[in-house]
Structure 1
């Protein structure tokens, strides 16, 4: 796994600290560089090995930033970043996780009240100190106070999209250890939940000492938290990675047990009891001839446990995909033979929500098209931001600029390997209006309408009005949530999905790991109400087209099949959906 995300995080921290100190221009440059590095396919550590010129090959990375990236790989730190941290010794990530508190606010609160942590912020809000500051007021203080509880909970969990690469990395490392016969991720990260606690990895081996020793000596680890006979924990960057080693012939039982969820496992155990079976992390045991089934974990005749398939088969069930194991009817569906044929990553044929340098993306239309072709897509929709609510800093395109862009998209479409669709991401106003003139919308192939402001309270009426607009094709990131930052709109999903189905509008399951919106819990009722979904990445550079994996697994958590997903159709099928 590359270290691109690691370096991008450092540059984003750099940007936040600079903004907190009221430095102009530089924060935006650092954020753009961070985003481009995160989405750049080659590993940044390989580019850094070539020197500054190698790093400068990434769009948006100039001399100053390139030198800092090289410095980081050569020395393990960035001197200027350390100086900024010393000048502003705040827990920036925690404080800015409170909705309405940005880096500049953090800087002001530190300079005036000495606030460095969430605890400091909570004390100041409770004591009425914040409202006394110029530019804040009672309402601002109240909002901060109300947002702290959410921020505390969010700060304890990591984004799936940030943790999963570390999980893949440790799994690949352990798979190369001779003593490890079986290796798999477990827990919430295997169920692809949008946020996770720790990275859990399970190994089946008959030489636990050798596996634990290799794990504890992994050169990617920063700290060995603990290392025992069959368990160990490491700190890798900001992530805790927990290893558990089990007997090879009990790997399937342990994998099923430690994948969870708890509610899923409880229902399975009750099903086992009804069949005179005992189910646990060591296997499934026939205890029909055992006087006291509670006398031990391995009592009775073992009838399954080497594989997960054996565990479910012992209960007369087919294997249930990890994404479905949330006790939402999946066991009954499995028993009745009604499990969905879930969407696979390879089913997605194109992306309907992407951005270019025409708005806030990092690449040209041609570069995005070429990136999509290299990724394996058949088609790509260019949907840059329009002007309207939520667009600041000149990001959104005017109607005239959209017309100009349509012409360029048509030109590029003639000589790239993917089919290009000319689209827009229009903004949904508080009244449900769409921020682009109807005649311009009619010229486009595809219209994504998304909410960007006013993202609290009930948004159902507003979103229903938007999907009823005759030119809207996709409702983008419908709740507007940002994981670990804001909860987003409350939505009556059955009503919204019913309106979308009636109007032929797809509801987006946005694959950006910061969004995953709609989430799986809303995808299922949306599908039950007859709506289609679109699994889009909201990519701002070619590298983030890879985010589709997170959208696919989020859709799988909502029981989505390929037939439910409009961009799992071929290009002609998509044209039919769009009425082209």
Structure 2
């Protein structure tokens, strides 16, 4: 069955091709539709197949024209108008636009001038010095393109967790309905909530593997069967690969621990076990202290084979850690960054949860590039049970998409509207702004505007190719600005699209702690910025973070899920996250 992620990708491609062809206005409409399709809570294909046209029409940004294209794609697997665009502009738009500095318009120009269609074409043209000869380009641009091609090739092989996890949830829901499945769970990097995913790995416990494989392969969401056997099956759903592995119920816990990883965590844990006369593998935890070892053999295979010694654990994942005298370690922090030592010392973090989050400090409305009114966004926040909510539309400045930032006069007008709306709702509304951190670290707001606002999120949107030293000095100057409360998406990266600034998260954390400035975990699944290791480095310096969705419509307030798990990957506890605090404490923190 067609997934929402697959549909969204088609409309993103539509927008890119139209923009590459110098079409105005339409690309933005298609991008908004793509974002809303991706954020839609249920599979849109189900509505198409059931003939529920109203369900499609209810999706924000989807009018009759786009609705008909959704139906066409679900029913036929293609959109005729998109096929025509592809024929007119036969470029690999997704791969090419992953190169830093290459947007759709650039792709269009390079195709028309040099016939560039693929990454290989782009690389060859750059190496031959042809790009710098095109009007509007130069040697520096050409060199930047050349340096970023390898990155574009690498990221093109992975999916965003925001695309992969909803599919994984669908797989689990389907498996739970199969009679022979006793337990099931995702494994691998998706269970550790890495920001990008290769394949969706799923583990199921059953005594009827043949029947379960048959029932799984009957799932109507599957587009292609890749391979199958008595204990596993691999399929393609949309553009993603799903690998199902079946184990006997008594070995589910050990298999889950083993296949969750990471490799570094597992190696460290196995060595910890060896030192205690134990052996760990996917089949269980075994006491091998009484067995004689071959001095030339791998100590993990004492006595030969995998199931040797006295099996003391394996039915549950918790038992695998308990057999070593350790508490269960949350999957998000199994990255060999000190978690086993912390577990041994009884010092594992009490990780933040979604239920701890009391509000969102970085969201947008139709005043800048959002889809909805302030009142609609505030009502959505109140419906989520939030205690407070920050409206932070874009201020004018470099890098703001489409020049849609607010002037100072508009900011002041918006503050007045927010104050009026705040009186009508139980949720407390902060009048904020997302200011732009320019190349030198300034934000360009007058004292009058700063004084009128409750909250300033400052984010880099331009000059994202600075070297690490320049970028670090720039961001620290922003952190030290007494007007700034939150440094938004500090690196400016877009996953699978651009690397963003090279940052020293420890140095930013030290500056942030000294200046009572929070560092943002931007929960948009295209950003997840800061990321796990960076969060951990910042928290080690006693910095505080803010988990914000950067929501542009009510549905994307749900992005908090991705932000919370990213913060958990950085060992964040509730007190480390300013928007888990009670309102008076947060107000005291804000400048």
TM-score (norm 1): 0.96
Q: Which moved more, 1:330-339 or 1:463-472?
A: 463-472
1:15 paired residue number:
15
CA contact (8 A) 2:292 2:303 kept: no
The partner residue of 1:535 within 547, 561, 565 is: 547
Distance 2:473 2:87 in 1: 48
* SS of corresponding position for 2:403: coil
Distance 1:557 1:328 in 2: 10
* SS of corresponding position for 2:291: coil
Residue 277 (structure 1) aligned with residue 278 (structure 2): yes
CA contact (8 A) 2:6 2:239 kept: no
1:341 paired residue number:
350
Deviations 1:274-307 (A, max 9, x none): 1111111100111122234141100111000011
1:87 Cα shift? Answer: 2.6
Distance 1:284 1:157 in 2: 33
1:388 paired residue number:
397
1:151 paired residue number:
152
* Structure 2 counterparts to residues 371-520 of structure 1, below 5 A: 371-456=380-465, 457-458=467-468, 459-520=471-532
* Structure 2 counterparts to residues 349-368 of structure 1, below 5 A: 349-368=358-377
Distance 1:491 1:96 in 2: 23
1:159 Cα shift? Answer: 1.2
The partner residue of 1:302 within 311, 320, 323 is: 311
The partner residue of 1:557 within 564, 569, 574 is: 569
Q: Which moved more, 1:376-385 or 1:57-66?
A: 57-66
* SS of corresponding position for 1:393: helix
1:40 Cα shift? Answer: 4.4
Distance 2:322 2:46 in 1: 47
* Structure 2 counterparts to residues 82-231 of structure 1, below 5 A: 82-231=83-232
Q: Which moved more, 1:43-52 or 1:67-76?
A: 43-52
Deviations 1:389-446 (A, max 9, x none): 2124331001110000011111111222421111000011111111221221111111
Distance 1:358 1:15 in 2: 22
1:525 paired residue number:
537
* SS of corresponding position for 1:353: strand
Distance 1:54 1:171 in 2: 24
| Structure 2, gaps ≥5 residues long | 294-301
* SS of corresponding position for 2:326: coil
Q: Which moved more, 1:8-17 or 1:328-337?
A: 8-17
Deviations 1:492-534 (A, max 9, x none): 3232212211211111111111111111111112111111110
Q: Which moved more, 1:346-355 or 1:169-178?
A: 169-178
CA contact (8 A) 2:439 2:474 kept: yes
* SS of corresponding position for 2:5: helix
RMSD: 1.8
TM-score (norm 2): 0.94
Distance 1:359 1:26 in 2: 18
| Structure 1, gaps ≥5 residues long | none
CA contact (8 A) 1:510 1:551 kept: yes
Cα distance change, pair 283–325 in 1 and its aligned pair in 2 (3 A): same
CA contact (8 A) 1:36 1:362 kept: no
CA contact (8 A) 1:438 1:471 kept: no
Deviations 1:323-365 (A, max 9, x none): 1101111000000100000001111111000000000001000
Cα distance change, pair 483–241 in 1 and its aligned pair in 2 (3 A): same
Distance 1:540 1:345 in 2: 20
CA contact (8 A) 1:248 1:306 kept: yes
Residue 319 (structure 1) aligned with residue 320 (structure 2): no
Distance 1:114 1:89 in 2: 9
Residues paired across the two proteins, number: 579
CA contact (8 A) 1:356 1:384 kept: yes
Q: Which moved more, 1:166-175 or 1:69-78?
A: 69-78
CA contact (8 A) 2:522 2:563 kept: yes
* SS of corresponding position for 1:37: helix
Distance 1:37 1:286 in 2: 52
Distance 2:17 2:137 in 1: 21
Distance 1:108 1:23 in 2: 13
* SS of corresponding position for 1:200: strand
CA contact (8 A) 2:505 2:534 kept: yes
1:5 Cα shift? Answer: 3.4
Q: Which moved more, 1:110-119 or 1:552-561?
A: 110-119
1:41 Cα shift? Answer: 4.7
